Amino acid sequence: MPARSRTPSGRGPGSSPGVTLDAFTDRYAARTHGMTASEIRALFAVASRPEVVSLAGGMPNLSALPLDVVGKLVGQLVEGRGTTALQYGSGQGDPVLRELICEVMALEGVEGSPDDVVVTVGSQQALDLVTRIFVDPGDVVLAEAPSYVGALGTFAAYQADVVHVPMDADGLVPEALREAIAAVAASGRRAKFLYTIPNFHNPAGVSLAESRRDEVLAICREAGLLVLEDNPYGLLGFDGPPTRAIRARGAEDDVIYLGSFSKTFAPGLRTGWVLAPHAVREKLVLAAEAAVLCPPAFNQMVITEYLQHHDWQGQVASFRDLYRERRDAMLDALTQLMPPGTTWTHPTGGFYVWLTLPEGLDSKVMQPRALTERIAYVPGVGFYADGQGGRELRLSYCFPDPDRIREGVRRLAGVVEQELDLLETFGPTARLHPEGRTLTETPAPDMA
């Protein structure tokens, strides 16, 4: 339908005040139809209010960063090498940083050549570039159920068809992966890659067991499926040394590996990377140049200086301590306060706990009541491409201090109890609106 003419404010002559219609609707590319605000972004404004305990966002806790050290090296960089640092750089990324990235990856057993590393604007851009070079509209991408909301957004933007693969407490279930691959093949299609977050999963808070890693790789190899291994949290494990990456298992031709400095240093520097098979690396550099010409030289040099002249591994160890304390606070509070029927995962690293509500409750329906009670979480439905997740929600423990976390869980437990009371009173299909004025039907999962 052609767009009607609009006033300069974007409003049609007959439209009601305050309603801004989009005058460009009939001109957008088809790929924009899959682009929607994520559940997390939608929550951001309300969750940032000081009276709300936000267990919603996944922002790294930078309170432990040595800002004096970073400030000093930034100043020295600009004064001493500003004409290089503030100049355009290589499309593939700074060669010195790429060497250091190989040393970082070696901590998780990954042996890669700096030649096969592409520096990106966060690992989010790496997700975009990989999808851009592999996925045509309608292609299948396999992803864990649930999966990282930013990756789902990218897959939607490239019109991929996401098929979810179930997980359990040990991560992706190999048998379910086999079944998903077979089901896709039976429909006459082939998946382009398996997108997986093996360590301290966002949002599920589980990790792929060591004993499953070779098997997952073997299944993908047999099916001719690339593995897109996204590992921003791998160094943030609470219980000992990291588990060897999938890429570290002789898989240089089968795995595209993504890393990031967002969780181990600072997300504001927007620097991540891809380690890819050589031929793929060539295509990625072309795609990256078309997108951004080159990643920011300045940010890369800040990171290079930081890695070379600061005890960055000691810093990561203090991040681990900080997050472990918060994880403990959340798990203890959940154990003490949550009503029976509620279950949750037990992360051994990273930022997230994945919670399943008692039967009959819906995290999206419950959200207005939770916000009224000043507690924010992310409803589970946003972490699936197919409308699952109605009973589930994500809690982050990375940012608030332990007392706030305990208070947040206390509020959440109260909200769940109120919802259970209503369920008992009105039955499974009716739920009292938090304001107490209207009764709303519990939406089917695919409408939530």
Ligand X SMILES: Cc1ncc(COP(=O)(O)O)c(C=O)c1O
Chain positions contacting ligand X, by CB under 6 A: 58, 122-124, 148, 150, 197, 202, 230, 232, 260, 262, 267, 272
Residue type, 77: L
Task: Give least dist CB 151 to ligand X, A.
Answer: 6
Q: Give whichever of 150 and 242 is closer to ligand X, judged by the CB atom.
A: 150
Task: Give least dist CB 425 to ligand X, A.
Answer: 39
Q: Give whichever of 196 and 442 is closer to ligand X, judged by the CB atom.
A: 196
Q: Are 247 and 216 in contact (CB under 8 A)?
A: no
Q: Give whichever of 150 and 349 is closer to ligand X, judged by the CB atom.
A: 150
Task: Give least dist CB 444 to ligand X, A.
Answer: 28
Q: Give whichever of 60 and 114 is closer to ligand X, judged by the CB atom.
A: 60
Q: Is 390 helix (H, G, I), strand (E, B) or coil?
A: coil
Q: Are 217 and 251 in contact (CB under 8 A)?
A: yes
Q: Give whichever of 197 and 361 is closer to ligand X, judged by the CB atom.
A: 197
Instruction: Quote the radius of gyration of the chain (alpha carbons, Å).
Output: 23
Q: Give whichever of 270 and 406 is closer to ligand X, judged by the CB atom.
A: 270
Task: Give least dist CB 404 to ligand X, A.
Answer: 20
Beta carbons within 8 Å of 361's beta carbon, 6+ residues apart: 391, 416, 419, 420, 423
Tokens of 391: 């009973």
Beta bridge partners of 140: 161, 191
For residue 184, the tally of other CB atoms under 10 A from its CB is: 18
Task: Give least dist CB 65 to ligand X, A.
Answer: 15
Tokens of 403: 């007392």
Task: Give least dist CB 368 to ligand X, A.
Answer: 26
Q: Tell me how far apart the alpha carbons of residues 258 and 123 are, in angstroms, rounded to a whole number.
A: 6
Residue type, 241: P
Task: Give least dist CB 105 to ligand X, A.
Answer: 15
Beta bridge partners of 444: none
The residue number whose beta carbon is nearest to ligand X equals 122
Q: Are 162 and 385 in contact (CB under 8 A)?
A: yes
Residue labelled with tokens 């960089």: 77
Q: Tell me how far apart the alpha carbons of residues 188 and 200 are, in angstroms, rounded to a whole number.
A: 34
Q: Give whichever of 267 and 295 is closer to ligand X, judged by the CB atom.
A: 267
